[in-house]
Amino acid sequence: MKRFCYIALACSAVLLSQGACTKTQEPSAGSEEFAPLVDFYDNVWVRSSDGKSATLDQVAKDLGEYDVVFFGEYHGHSGVHLAQMQLFRSMHEMHPDMALSMEQFERDTQKYVDQYLAGEIGEKVLEKDGRAWDNYAQSYRPMVEYAKNKGLPVLASNAPKSIVICVGKEGPELLDRLPETDRGWAASELHLDEGAYLDKYRSFVMSNASHGSGSSDSAADEEMAKRMESMVMRSFAAQVTRDDTMAESIAMQLQKNPGQKVFHLNGNFHSESHLGTVERLKMRMPDLKLAVVTPVMVDDNSSPVLTEEDAASGDYIILVSKVPDMFKSDERELEYQRAIAKERMGNECEYSADNAEHEEKS
């Protein structure tokens, strides 16, 4: 089974590209034979509890029993985005009091999202001032337009990229140095403790960072390991800044609107196996019923299978078509990763002490 892992490492020196963690696995014992995926928009919904396929209506009805539904995504996979729209619409038809929460908009742009929903600004202004993602029109416009037409709130739930970059470069202590006017754009509390999420994150980043290394100097290796661990922890803090901010945003929405249901979109890594944003929302509101939808790209569109590991990664799994190979050689992939990593390392922290001194002098 091909797994498409995505981590938004806006401030890490390591790029985890779309094909970085693909792997092939055998189907679990007694797994159901699923219908072929005929085209790129095709999919198969699978209940994790019994490994059986389900219809969209069945999925919507089952997930309607939960307070918050997290739909993990492969950013830019059009088949996944179509399924998100279909499920959101089906759930809303059964439960009119719903809110759409989005990783793809940041907290400080909420006013622009609200103005657009109210018809006060046009879409181009939303895209520019709201800092919409480059694939907004193709991937997220349908859901925002549905929410607008139905009068549903849309939460700009993520932390601003500018803050995430700074945390990745300078560590979580950076949050204490933010201007009072900006501090509220990120979660008031970060959860950085050891646990399954940090283990998963560290393993994934380190395995990709070590790709191509071949040093035989033990002292150099030890020093490199220390530097990498320090980088990983700063990068993890940046990741968690997003997770905790999204979780806090959802919690605040539900506290203000008891009984409302939230449909949240985020990259798959943020919610897979009930980790990341999901566990951080649970910490804030333990009594909530939370469900996770996890997409899984199949190895063979003509014969989709589901592994036990994949089945355990969400309450519902949606099997989707594989994407074309990103690279045909490890060398080209590594070259691409390094180029993007170099570009991202060039991102400056606008809240750094140096920048603050510069602004005072100017």
Largest CA distance in the chain: 69
Q: What backbone phi and psi angles, to 5 degrees, belong to 204? A: -65, -45
**pLDDT for 243-300, tens place per residue?**
999 999 999 999 999 999 999 999 999 999 999 999 999 999 999 999 999 999 999 9
Place of tokens 């895209």: 127
**Residue 347: per-residue pLDDT:** 83
Q: What backbone phi and psi angles, to 5 degrees, belong to 352? A: -65, 160
How is domain 43-206+221-332 classified at the CATH fold level? Rossmann fold (3.40.50)
**Residue 204: per-residue pLDDT:** 85
**pLDDT for 148-161, tens place per residue?**
999 999 999 999 99
**Residue 73: per-residue pLDDT:** 97
N-term to C-term CA, the chain: 56
Strands across the sheet containing 68-73: 53-54, 43-47, 316-320, 290-297, 68-73, 261-267, 98-106, 154-158
Instruction: Measure the CA–CA gap between 304 and 321, rounded to whole angstroms.
Output: 9
Question: Cα 72–76–78 angle (5° rounding)?
Answer: 90
Domain boundaries, the chain: 43-206+221-332
Burial pattern 283-319, b for ≥16 Cβ within 10 A else e, equals: ebeeebebbbbbbbbbeebeebbbbeebbebbbbbbb
Q: Which two tokens stand for residue 73?
A: 């995504």
pTM score, two decimals?
A: 0.87
**10-residue block means of pLDDT along the chain (362 residues)?**
38 32 48 89 96 96 98 97 98 98 98 98 98 97 98 98 95 95 97 96 77 60 77 94 98 98 98 98 98 96 94 97 92 88 79 58 38
**Residue 215: per-residue pLDDT:** 52
Q: Say how many C-beta atoms besides its own lie within 10 A of residue 97's C-beta.
A: 10
Strand locations in the chain (E): 43-47, 53-54, 68-73, 98-106, 154-158, 261-267, 290-297, 316-320
**Residue 87: per-residue pLDDT:** 98
**Residue 21: per-residue pLDDT:** 42
